[in-house]
Amino acid sequence: MKTVKIFDTTLRDGEQAPSCSMHLDEKIEVALALERLKVDVMEAGFAVISQGDFEAVKTIANTVKNSSVASLARAVKKDIEYAYEALKGAVSPRIHTFIATSPIHMQYKLKMTEDEVLERIKEMVSYAKSFISDIEFSAEDATRSDREFLRKAVYTAIKAGATVVNIPDTVGYTTPYEMYDLIRYLKENVENIDKADISVHCHNDLGMAVANSLAAVRAGATQVECTINGLGERAGNAALEEIVMGLNTRKNVYGAQTRVDTTQIYRTSKLVYNVLGLTPPLNKAIVGVNAFAHEAGIHQHGVMAKRETYEIMTPESIGLPQNKMVFGKHSGKHAIENRLKELGYELNKEEMEKFFARFKALADKKKSINDLDLEALVGHKEKDMLAKGYKLDRFTVNSGNYITTNAVVRLTDGKKLYEEVAIGEGPIDAAYKAIDKIIKAPEHSLDDYAIHSISEGKDALGEVVVRIRCGDEIITGRGLSTDIIEASLLAYINGMNKII
């Protein structure tokens, strides 16, 4: 059985999706989760695009030890040089360079002839190879390229030193049948194809990214490029969790496996959704709320008799918490630390001290704490980047259907206390107006506000996620508390701190 490599591009292509940008500390958090997931390669960014992307690629390259780290680069010297500078501290670096090969892209975007494109591939892959041994070449818009020319492009890239050749369905145009046929064509007609991995990168414009990717694996592809939750430009990319569980569940069909730790899928998916202030659709495959839910009587009866009647995989296989462990204010640090390790979270001594303090504070408000609560506390750990920001000191809200709602909010920056009062249409509106009086941020607006309970019961933790628009950027803020007003304030303060 062959092993298919998983190339995750959540931090590059996924972040390019509208309103899905991440701050550096959030990118590091996601990168470490991807490392725990055991992806073979993670594309950390596009180093030449901005100083922020360069720093993100460099920091991730210097942090991650057990996965290869890649940077995207156009087939131009400057891009390749920036990629190398950002990646040179990595244990296993990869430069991922690309150029378009379809007639429409070459004529209207590149304004280059076929011969010029082939020469550029030869020159730039060789140039990248002079810096790093692991080079991936992508033929952008490959599925709309002339096959004979695509064959020449792939041959040229491998001859110049490419260790991976990527065949992207850049605009989500192809079908599973066509993708299978294309990969077979390249395997049978590119003389040196055995010297490189064949990769695919499928977009989901027609809803077939996962199907196209799996068809490519059947045809002989040895690497699949995907993102957590299928995030990406336009309709997104092939979803990593669907690719991996598809291969894992139907090994008899694909004859392939991955090295991904599937028990990390659920928490990695949840982390990415939380970082971006999003929630999965109820019917999202693998990680959606209803993915393992059964309401129809005949389904419930079948599952109770034998799970396999309606479940082709188990919740445990993707690491879905079962809420079996319950903790309270008398629980010790050692027991909590052991349970966190079982859930897949490794905290250092300093992080554990801070976490346990937050656990004790929650235990004073909530009678019993389960796995979902623990995971929520881990996900809301204080960020170093916000150490100099504002923190909530206290608040008072007066609200009712016969009085004018008002809020008094007091914040601290660690040196001084700031207090303001405001009236509003409701308690959240009033409190946010008071915060705006204290935190002097550039012009902004609240794009979205969402609240949901982490667990069950009247004392459930409430998680609030706000999305704040500042110019062309969307900033996500998160807050967690058994008091939904407090959670709302914490989320807004978190987002405002990121803005300033």
pLDDT in tens, 187-203: 999 999 999 999 999 99
Q: At what angle do helices 240-249 and 265-276 cross, to 10 degrees?
A: 170
pLDDT of 303 above 60? no
Least confident of 148-152, 358-362, 442-446, 464-468: 358-362
* Mean pLDDT of the 262-275 span: 92
**pLDDT of the residue at 381:** 63
Is 328 part of any domain? no
**pLDDT of the residue at 321:** 65
pLDDT of 20 above 70? yes
DSSP string, 315-353: GGGGT-------B-TT--HHHHHHHHHHTT----HHHHH
Q: Which is nearest to 204 in space by CA: 174, 238, 229?
A: 238
* Mean pLDDT of the 263-290 span: 89
Say if residue 394 is in the same domain as residue 375. no
Tens of pLDDT, residue by residue over 236-265, are 999 999 999 999 999 999 999 999 999 999
Q: Which residue has the higher pLDDT, 309 or 155?
A: 155
Say if residue 469 is in the same domain as residue 338. no
Say if residue 47 is in the same domain as residue 172. yes
Residues 483, 380 contacting (CB under 8 angstroms): no
Beta strands (DSSP E) in 159-204 are 164-169, 197-202
pLDDT of 294 above 60? no
Is 290 part of any domain? no
Q: Which residue has the higher pLDDT, 207 or 347?
A: 207
pLDDT of 6 above 60? yes
* Mean pLDDT of the 97-113 span: 97
Tokens representing 294 are: 């059964």
Computed over every residue of the chain, the mean pLDDT equals: 91
What is the CATH number for 19?
3.20.20.70
Say if residue 408 is in the same domain as residue 477. yes
CA distances from 443 to 19, 32, 166, 245 (A): 17, 34, 43, 44
Q: What does pTM read for this prediction?
A: 0.83
pLDDT of 499 above 80? yes
**pLDDT of the residue at 385:** 41
**pLDDT of the residue at 492:** 96
d(CA 399, CA 406): 7
Domain count for the chain: 3
Say if residue 388 is in the same domain as residue 361. no
The confidence band for 313, taking pLDDT boundaries of 50, 70 and 90, is: confident
Say if residue 233 is in the same domain as residue 359. no
**pLDDT of the residue at 322:** 61
Domain limits for position 370? 333-379
pLDDT of 158 above 70? yes
